[in-house]
Amino acid sequence: MTDIAHDMIPEAASAAEEIYKENILDHYRHPRNRGAFSPCAFKHREINASCGDDLELFVDLADGKMRKVAFEGRGCAVSIAAVSMLTEHVAGMTLAEIEKLGKDAMLGLLGIPVGPSRLKCALLGLKTLQNGIAAHRTAL
């Protein structure tokens, strides 16, 4: 096997591993909090049509806080790892706290460099959760 790609960019191998580091791949292969449940306080679905990513979040509340949140769906490693990490991160948080989470918080959680072409993947889980909360509030 010729190794031209590696010769071309010496730092390439490490750069590729950086985005798909073990932590990300672990969440992708073994997502936390996967699986629909009911009854739930609310659920919400969002898709990234351009990627074929499709996530649905199921939320249970206690005293205005996240008691349980789980997801169902499919996507790339970045979107699945991100939503998996998000479900762990938001447990116990208030809706208002979750609504304040921004792009930087989500990327911080992922802990990997995400280029502009993959930003939508990284943020799909957060968008699903926040849009779900917004819909839940208007439904109240």
Q: Indicate whether 4 belongs to the interface with another protein (CB under 8 A).
A: yes
Q: Indicate whether 52 belongs to the interface with another protein (CB under 8 A).
A: yes
Nearer to another protein, 6 or 137 (CB): 6
Separation of CA 31 from chain center: 10
Region 20-39 residues binding another protein, contact defined as CB under 8 A: 20, 25
Residue selected from 55, 57, 59, 78 as contacting another protein according to rule CB under 8 A = 78
The Cα 71–Cα 56 span in angstroms is: 5
CB environment 19-49: b (16+ within 10 A), e (fewer) = eeeeebeebbeebbbeeeeeebbbbbebebe
Residue selected from 66, 70, 98, 121 as contacting another protein according to rule CB under 8 A = 121
Residue selected from 9, 36, 105, 134 as contacting another protein according to rule CB under 8 A = 9
